[in-house]
Amino acid sequence: MQIYRMKTEVKETRECIAITGALGFIGSCLAAHLSRKGKYKLILIDDFSDEQKLNNLKDVDSDLQIEREDFIDWAKTNADQKIDSLVHIGARTDTTEFDVAIFDKLNLNYSKEIWNMCCERNIPLIYASSAATYGAGENGYNDDHHSINKLVPLNPYGESKNDFDLWVLKQKSSPPFWYGLKFFNVYGPNEYHKSRMASVIFHAYNQFKKNGSVKLFKSHKTEFKDGEQLRDFIYVKDVVEVIYWLMKSQTYSGIYNLGTGKANTFYTLAASVAKAMQIPLNIEWIDIPEDIRDKYQYFTEAQMDKLLSSGYTNKFTSLEAGIEDYVKNYLIPGNYY
């Protein structure tokens, strides 16, 4: 398959940024952010046969769209096409998928090809890792490189992301600048297509809208009360700002946590969604399904010292403010980023 879609006249003087997973949640928000700046040539890579996700790019002005399976060959045959930065967000992100071969193909081997291409062509690389690499958190949430080989992910998705991080750290050759970002619980516009894997905020909104109540998991650990399980939720707009800053700052290469550094309870989340919708807070407590109960995380919180000490100074959006913006400006009117 060779489908290259040219949407606008290519202006070689503009800085060229390639984004894999451009139709997805984070990738499309990044593409929209860069498109609005109007000074970048965008090469977008994804599976463009997935019509459900096409609306994520409806307001994005890109120069070239390339099918994911064709991108490496395209890059080899268009070696004279300068790419100034590559953001590799594309991945299989389903934490309930247990076919290791799928993750080996899409998350591990494809990422290795991307890395090697960036090395050969001297392209700065930002790639998506995941907080799922931390497993149950028994070894903490420290993004120090020496801690990565101690991590025990809870599912094949987390294992695939950790395996690539470990592979990267063993490489003798690297892009001129590179950053692996361990995304924590990202939420925000353009996740309409994610179904079961959409954020808890997205599901809470839709449950409130349909039933007037939201389902939250009971706690199956005595040290946590119902609804007091904690996650580090980060607004996708903050994620995009960090990626953009890394592209421009070219700070120290390495693997970085990307959360807010502040965990919030699911009860706080549900209350914030209800408040943004201006409805009463009604919660239905349900058991954690047995198939995921022993793999359920009760606490995640990113240690953000590395990113902050590297020079990043923007404040992260509070959960309450992020939910208010997301619900009122995107979910209720059905808008895209």
Structure tokens at 259: 């959360």
Could you say which of 7, 112, 194, 237 is catalytic? Answer: 194
Which two structure tokens, joined as six digits, stand for 208?
Answer: 């409130």
Query: Is 157 labeled as catalytic in the residue annotation?
Result: yes
Which residue is catalytic, options 110, 127, 157, 187?
157
Instruction: Determine the distance from the C-alpha atom of residue 311 to the mean position of all C-alpha atoms in its chain, rounded to a whole number.
Output: 22
User: Would you tell me how many other CB atoms lie within 10 Å of the CB of residue 14?
Assistant: 14
Spatial separation of the C-alpha atoms in residues 216 and 273, rounded to whole Å = 13
Sole residue written with tokens 């959360």: 259
Q: Which two tokens stand for residue 56?
A: 């994520």
Q: How many helices (H) and strands (E) does the chain have?
A: 11, 14
Alpha helices by DSSP H, listed for the chain, are 25-37, 68-77, 100-103, 110-121, 156-170, 200-211, 236-249, 266-277, 290-293, 305-309, 319-326
The CA-based diameter of the chain, rounded to the nearest angstrom, is 61
Measure the CA–CA gap between 286 and 220, rounded to whole angstroms. Answer: 11
- 176's CB contacts (< 8 A; 6+ apart) are 122, 123, 124
Q: Which residues contact 329 (CB under 8 A, 6 or more apart)?
A: 335
CA dihedral 288, 293, 295, 300 (to 10 degrees): 40
Dihedral Cα 126, 320, 96, 257, nearest 10 deg: 30
Give the integer Cα–Cα distance in Å for 65 and 52.
17
Active site residues: 157, 194
